[in-house]
């Protein structure tokens, strides 16, 4: 967002379609690097962790690795 003379001059909005589909229940977040409701929760509470995707991917890698043994 840009402010010029105390007024909003422009705004760039980015949204992730996959995250939206997770939020409405059409995609399984366990199989994709996307977030659902936790994205909105983070906006309400900035103390929440910013990115759990890396930890979730690591847990999934371990589970998949153990099941192939």
Q: How many domains does the chain have?
A: 1
pLDDT at 64: 66
Q: In a structure prediction context, what are the per-residue pLDDT tens digits for the chain, which is 69 residues long?
A: 788 898 888 887 766 788 788 888 888 877 777 776 777 787 788 888 777 777 777 777 776 666 655
Task: Answer yes or no: are the C-beta atoms of 19 and 25 closer than 8 Å.
Answer: no
DSSP annotation string for 11-67? ------HHHHHHHTTSS-GGGSS---HHHHHHHH-TTS-S--HHHHHHHHHHHHHHH
Instruction: Note down the domain range covering 50.
Output: 2-67
Phi/psi at 27 (nearest 5 deg)?
A: -130, 150
């Amino acid at each position: 967002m840009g402010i010029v003379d105390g007024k909003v001059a422009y705004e760039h909005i980015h949204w992730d379609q996959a995250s939206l589909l997770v939020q409405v229940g059409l995609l399984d977040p366990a199989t994709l690097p996307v977030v659902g409701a936790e994205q909105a929760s983070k906006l309400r509470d900035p103390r929440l962790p910013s990115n759990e995707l890396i930890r979730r991917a690591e847990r999934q890698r371990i589970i998949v690795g153990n099941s192939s043994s």
